Amino acid sequence: MNPCNLNQLGITREAPWAVGHFNIHNQEFIRAVVQAAESERSPAILAVGMMSVKYMGLQPLISACQSISRETEVPIAVHLDHARDLDTVKQALELGINSVMFDGSSLGFEDNVEKTTKVVQMAHDCGATAEGEIGIVPHGTASVSQAEMTDPALAVEFAERTGVDFLAVSLGSVHGMKSAGTSLDQSLLQRLHEQIPVPMVLHGASGVIDDQITMAVENGIRKINVNTGLKVVLKSYLSSRLIEQPESDLLEDLEKGIEAVAGSVSARMRLFGSSNRA
């Protein structure tokens, strides 16, 4: 069955747990996520983002995700993260990706609706799922302005008109945070959950404190995106390892690095409530 789309991971709008979306950049990250998914008996999403595509190439990354996920029985989806043009979406779908996110958050509302609707149709024609975004989750700034937060009425209209399977919303988190210190607007999230007909997605989770993640799952978040936090784990593990054991074999260093990342992924799966759901 692997790899599968997001609807095949067992998440629903109502079920009180969220699936982890983990950005992967090379084989080490892919193996770390799959190892954690197996040890936690948890579904997981291997996410291919644009920086990693620039680093590794779209085809090599998708193909590595597909072949490694076929080695396991726990459900694993391969998902394109933050595509900003239809050509990249088309290429990824042609390579057999199971899910795509189109990020039209920087576009005007009508333009975002129009392009996201096309992406949803392209994805569904291939049996893939589609995620859109309404509101803006900024990158690397200190905070999120009120104007960037998701407007409930626009979000409902966006979800209904585009037919997205998952909707990314802006609640106060920021992309690219190396440590957790951010809180979310939980009352906005509760209002969104009452009104929006599809499961919601939290981006920028590396910067959000654990208690706020737990509350966000209680209040309706069903997919949680983690990227920077895992890079930080691998970099900090390898930097101390290289100082402490300069004579060790590099492959052994990388293998231990995979274990360190897998440990961090497992902890997040438990936090999100996805352990033992596979």
- Residue 225 or 264 with smaller CB distance to Zn ion: 225
Residue 36: CB partners within 8 Å, gap ≥ 6? 42, 44, 262, 263, 265, 266, 269
Query: Do the beta carbons of residue 45 and residue 22 sit within 8 Å?
Result: yes
**Of the candidates 78, 100, 182, the residue with the CA atom closest to the CA atom of residue 138:** 182
Rounded Cα distance between 226 and 210, Å, is 13
What's the alpha-carbon Rg for the chain, to the nearest Å? 18
Q: Select 74 or 217, whichever has its Cβ closest to Zn ion.
A: 217
Q: Which of residues 115, 203, 222, 223 is near Zn ion by CB under 5 A?
A: 203
Q: Is 111 a catalytic residue?
A: no
Segment interacting with Zn ion (CB under 5 A) among 29-37, 127-135, 197-205, 242-250: 197-205
* Candidate segments 35-43, 158-166, 196-204, 246-254, binder of Zn ion by CB under 5 A: 196-204
Neighbour tally for 136: CB within 10 Å: 16
Number of helices (H) and strands (E) in the chain: give both, helices first. 10, 8
Residues 123-152 that bind Zn ion (CB under 5 A): none
When the beta carbons of 40 and 131 are compared against Zn ion, the nearer one is 131
CB of 70 to Zn ion, least distance (A): 26
CB of 201: closest distance to Zn ion in angstroms? 8
Applying CB under 5 A, which part among 60-68, 119-127, 180-188, 202-210 lies near Zn ion?
202-210
In the complex, minimum distance from the CB of residue 202 to Zn ion, in angstroms, rounded to a whole number: 9
Residue 79 contacts Zn ion per CB under 5 A: no
Nearer to Zn ion, 31 or 203 (CB): 203
Q: Quote the CA–CA distance of 210 and 74 in Å, as a whole number.
A: 25
Give the binding range for Zn ion (CB under 5 A) out of 125-133, 191-199, 200-208, 231-239: 200-208
Residue with the CB atom nearest Zn ion in the bound state: 203
Residue 189 CB, nearest approach to Zn ion (Å)? 17
Number of residues located near Zn ion, criterion CB under 5 A: 1
Shortest distance, CB of residue 117 to Zn ion, whole angstroms?
A: 21
What's the CA gap between 52 and 202, in Å, rounded?
A: 20
d(CA 88, CA 232): 27
Chain-centroid distance, C-alpha 1 = 20
Burial class (CB in 10 A: 0-12, 13-18, 19+), 57: exposed
User: Least distance in Å: CB of 197 to Zn ion?
Assistant: 22
**CA pair distance 120, 277, nearest whole angstrom:** 27
Helix (H, G, I), strand (E, B) or coil at 226: strand
Q: List residues binding Zn ion (CB under 5 A).
A: 203
Residues taking part in catalysis: 81
